[in-house]
Each structure stands twice: as C-alpha cells, then as structure tokens.
Amino acid sequence: MTPFELAQPASLAEAIALLDPNDTAIRPIAGGTALMLMMKMGLYEPQKLISLRGIEPRYSEVAATADGGLRIGAVTPLRQLEMLPVVAERAPVIAHTMRRLSNVRVRNVARLGGHLAHGDPHLDLPPVLIALGATLAIAGPNGERTIAVEDLFQGYLETALAPDELIVEVNVPAAAAHTAYLKHTTRSADDWPALGIAVALDMQGDSVSGARVAIGAATDTPRRLTSVEAALQGEALSDAAINRAGEAAAAEAEVHSDARGSAAYKRELIRVFTGRTIRQATGREA
C-alpha cells in the first residue's frame, strides 16, 4: 500500500473544504473497511484521506422524525442500526438486515455513509433503503442537495457524488406496514449476497394499496423493480398473484453471470425469492 496523509477535521465544513473537486487522490474515509481493502489491492492510491469520524456528533446519531421515520447521520456505525430500539421500532427491516450483513467486527467499524458511497452493487442496505423510499442529504461546497437513494448508484463502484461531496444524512420516511428483505448467499450465511430482494407493502384489506420492490447484488446496480410493483398494485395476495410478481421480477431484472452464479441461476433465484420476500413481509408461510 502506498503511503498517504490522514487529515482529521473536527467539522463537516472543514472536511468539505479539504476535498478537491478536481483531485480524486483526496478521498473521504469513514470506517475504512472497504477503502482500505481497495487500497491494499492497489485499486485506489489516494494521497490524502479525510477522516469523517471527528465531525459533529449529530452526523453519528439516529433520531426519530415527526413523520414517523428516521434521520440517520451518515457517520453512524452499522452496529447502531442493529442495536438501537428506535430503528427496530420505526424500520424493523433495517435492524433485521444487519444480522446477516457481514460480521460484527465489520458492522462495528463501517458507517452508513461509507456503506452507500462505496457503490458496490452487492451491498445489502441499498435495496432495503430504496424499498423504504429513503433519501440522502448530500453536502458540498455550495450547500446541500437531496436525492433518492435509488439515484445514487450509477454503475459498478460509481455514484452520483462529486469528489468534493459527502453523504451527510439518510432520511427514511415512515415505513410501509409490511416490509422484508431476504438475501441469498452461495457461501456462508453472512457472506456478500448473490441476490437481495426488499419489499415494502401497504394493504387495504386483502389488496395491495402500495408496493415498492427493490433488488440488489444480481444486477449491475441496486434498483427498483417497477413491473413487480405494478403487478402487485391493487391485487389480492393470492398464490397466483405472488407467482406473477416473481415472474415479472425475473423478466425485468437484467442479470449477469459472476462468481456467485450464472445469469440463469440468478434469474431463477429472483423468481423464487421475490415470492418468498412478499410472503415474509405479509406473514404468509414461505
């Protein structure tokens, strides 16, 4: 690993001022679990890292919002999302997802902003946050802007962030009544997923009145599956309707073969796991 300088600013404004829009050799670092591995592999050779760990405490805090949702500071460790009662109460699917997201050593160190900014399509939280309709507050030298989590991901390890912008907050609206995330791994249970599917449903009686469905890992970026959402809207959740949703997911998702399985295998996983995730969210037997 090539030598680098480490800056430890005490405020967000100072951190942003240390970044340079024209110099990608200066990078922010949060937990360092992804960045350090990439530096060891020689994929990144930054000359200066700007640590976000010393900026104002509010960026490491989770707060309940008046609309029933959550405001999560970008420097919050993933372990907090697993342990804090307010997360389990307001967005139980996030707390549940943590249990199989890597191991506790990684979750203790990794931060939510670093997790999202890493931009790896195999990450577990992006499809969950997309299904929940979460947005990001992004700060740069000219102030703050807000984008939907689904608009962050532009390609493999590519995001919509400029080199001098930082994710500062994740805002999760009040969660739908029925939510679930299922990941399928081809190695250990807490390994990177071959497929992740997140579902957020509202029901009126037996019929679906609102549906957001998102996929990760099997596609080149995490994204919504809008044909599945359309297939579910207004439907009573019969076995036939759930099977149709699985077929729609398998038809819509563009999948590629990789070390975790062939495209045909992943397409079959998508078909099966879409139905399972809908059943899990609504308390039906899988």
Ligand X SMILES: Cc1cc2nc3c(=O)[nH]c(=O)nc-3n(C[C@H](O)[C@H](O)[C@H](O)COP(=O)(O)OP(=O)(O)OC[C@H]3O[C@@H](n4cnc5c(N)ncnc54)[C@H](O)[C@@H]3O)c2cc1C
- Which residues lie near ligand X (CB under 6 A)? 27-35, 37, 52, 74, 101-102, 106, 110-111, 113-115, 117-118, 123-124, 161, 166-167, 190-192
In this structure, are residues 116 and 136 in contact, taking their beta carbons and an 8 Å threshold? yes
d(CA 88, CA 106): 20
- Would you say 69 or 126 has its CB closer to ligand X? 126
Interhelix angle 263-281/239-252, rounded to 10 degrees, is: 140
- Would you say 180 or 201 has its CB closer to ligand X? 180
- Would you say 52 or 132 has its CB closer to ligand X? 52
Report the nearest approach of ligand X to the CB of residue 205 (Å): 36
Report the nearest approach of ligand X to the CB of residue 270 (Å): 18
In this structure, are residues 24 and 31 in contact, taking their beta carbons and an 8 Å threshold? no
Report the nearest approach of ligand X to the CB of residue 125 (Å): 6
Report the nearest approach of ligand X to the CB of residue 222 (Å): 10
Q: What is the Rg, in whole angstroms, of the alpha carbon atoms belonging to the chain? A: 19
- Would you say 37 or 236 has its CB closer to ligand X? 37
Report the nearest approach of ligand X to the CB of residue 202 (Å): 26
Query: Nearest to residue 222, comparing CAs of 157, 277, 145?
Result: 157
Q: Is 22 exposed, middle or buried (0-12, 13-18, 19+ CB in 10 A)?
A: exposed
d(CA 196, CA 87): 20
- Would you say 168 or 232 has its CB closer to ligand X? 168
> Using CB atoms, what's the residue nearest to ligand X?
114
